[in-house]
Amino acid sequence: MFYEANLEIVLKSALQNLDLNASTHESHSNSLINDKEEALAWLVSEADLPVTEGEVDHHDLRNAVVISEDVLDANFASIPQYALLGVDRHSQRNMYLNTNIPSSAYICGLQGSGKSHTLSCLLENALIQSPALGKLSEPLSGVVLHYSQFTSAQYFHPCEAAFLSIPSPEFPGRGSPVKVTVYVSPSNFHSLSASYSQIPGITIRKLLLKPEQLSISTMLQLMAVSSSSGGNTLYMAQVTKVLRAMAESGAKFDYHEFKKRLVALKLAFDQFQFLEQRLSLLESFLDLKGACKDEDFAFPKGSLTIVDLSCPFVDDNMACLLFDIFLKVYFETSAAESCGKIVALDEAHRYLTNTPASKLLTTSLLGLIRQQRHFGARIIISSQEPTLDPRLLDLSSMLIFHRFSSPEWASALSKHVPLSDNGNGKMLLDRVLKLRTGEAIVFVPSGILGGEEDGLRKACDELVTMKVRKRVTWDGGHSIVAVE
């Protein structure tokens, strides 16, 4: 898994600290043990905690995902990095995103309600240094996963995040464009290249993975012989046996060795043809000739990498499998880098379905969100529908609801936010229906709101109506209307 490289760095740092503190610890250990009362008092000390329940302390401020402008003005030194997100409609105070801490967000809403605009603003906050936005001394590196059913180049629309490479001509402030690299399916390279090349500052590459970046679990999923696939035919059992033997050897997975062992099985022609079909699809995304350079998978801070697998030969199941592999490459490659990371799933409802690979990708995302502090990760899921795996909503640091009209969606969301309407979602739906384009209801329990007049408070169970700010880069997702 891609967690291993990060774990190694954390353990190495911890061991170094132990070595540095060993002598000091030994010299004082006897006195600490003897002074039992002092030790017990230290263990239960509440010196760093607020005296009153609900009072905001320094730890709350540093770890608040969203803060209001009055909070920022009064506690500027507590927030190393922050960026403007929008305006609280009720208090008319600016709301800022804390870009210094790992967090996760779930954005949902109908098409045209401002969902993609909000996603782009979150990416801008993490990647673009501009005094008008806030303070960003250490930009993150970003990855966006995008997939859509490709019909023809004429009707294809690039991922909206790609337009972060173009500064908005209307923005009077300063801000450098983002360096954007787009990886596309090799079989659809020419069509997508023609579309993306119209956007200035874009680098387009074929998504070609190295064979050594594959793993046993990836191959099990591809061959549809994982426990969720239900494959139980004789030749599938033989393939499983080959993979198990390679796993038991303890050596790193070798794709070429795997193919040799498959040939040695001497399967029937129709059986081997079925396997060969799946392998050929995978090999279309593999760099078997060693043409790719290590810098092809570099993710410097302040840059954005888009993986767009829109292709007539790639279905949503294959897209999820490749996304999962790419995320592992991303976190393993950038593990030694000190910069934070932001991963966004654009239009996630198109590929986070009920396929085996979708469940695999969802499991990886849940693991990332649960351990986001250890990876320095920010995860954003943008979907029209809030009916994906409910665990994704439960674990999110912030929920952003744009306009929608479905009572079923409101009922589903009401189970994840504090409402006194017996879980039927009517109160939430009433508020959502009144939203204008670009407005959203934000639920962020760790947020710190308020000011001098009403005092600082944790957002906790509040649902804040927010007007999302304008973009500082080009808006490539505006609606096409008959008359402007």
Nearest partner of 404 among 109, 115, 106, 119, judged by Cα: 109
d(CA 310, CA 147): 5
Nearest partner of 212 among 184, 253, 247, judged by Cα: 253
- DSSP alpha helix (H) spans, 284-337: 316-333
* 390 neighbors 411 (Cβ within 8 angstroms): no
Looking at residue 348, what is its pLDDT? 97
Q: Any residues with CB less than 8 A from the CB of 412 and at least 6 apart, and which? A: 386, 387, 390, 425
pTM of the model as a whole: 0.88
d(CA 418, CA 422): 10
- DSSP alpha helix (H) spans, 334-459: 356-370, 372-375, 390-395, 407-413, 426-433
Query: Do you know the residue count of the chain?
Result: 484
- pLDDT tens, residue order, the chain (484 aa): 555 556 665 566 556 655 555 555 555 555 555 677 787 877 877 655 555 656 777 888 899 999 999 888 887 668 999 999 999 999 999 999 999 999 999 999 998 899 999 999 999 999 999 999 999 999 999 999 999 987 677 778 899 999 999 999 889 876 678 999 999 999 999 999 999 999 999 999 999 999 988 988 888 877 764 444 444 466 778 888 999 999 999 888 999 999 999 888 888 887 778 788 888 888 999 999 888 876 778 899 999 999 999 999 999 999 999 999 999 989 987 655 678 999 999 999 999 998 888 998 999 999 999 999 999 999 999 999 898 999 999 999 999 999 999 999 999 998 898 876 665 678 899 999 999 989 999 999 999 998 767 778 889 889 999 999 999 999 886 665 555 5
- DSSP alpha helix (H) spans, 334-406: 356-370, 372-375, 390-395
Q: Any residues with CB less than 8 A from the CB of 479 and at least 6 apart, and which? A: 112
Looking at residue 476, what is its pLDDT? 81
Extents of the domains making up the chain: 3-45, 60-209+289-468, 220-283
Looking at residue 378, what is its pLDDT? 98
DSSP structural state of residue 378: E
Looking at residue 457, what is its pLDDT? 86
The kind and range of the H/E element at 142 are strand 141-146
**Residue 432, amino acid:** V
Which sign, positive or negative, has the C-alpha torsion 189, 195, 198, 199?
negative
- The separation between CA 217 and the C-alpha centre of its own chain, rounded to angstroms, equals 21
Q: What's the CATH superfamily of 60-209+289-468?
A: P-loop containing nucleotide triphosphate hydrolases (3.40.50.300)
Nearest partner of 271 among 306, 223, 314, judged by Cα: 223
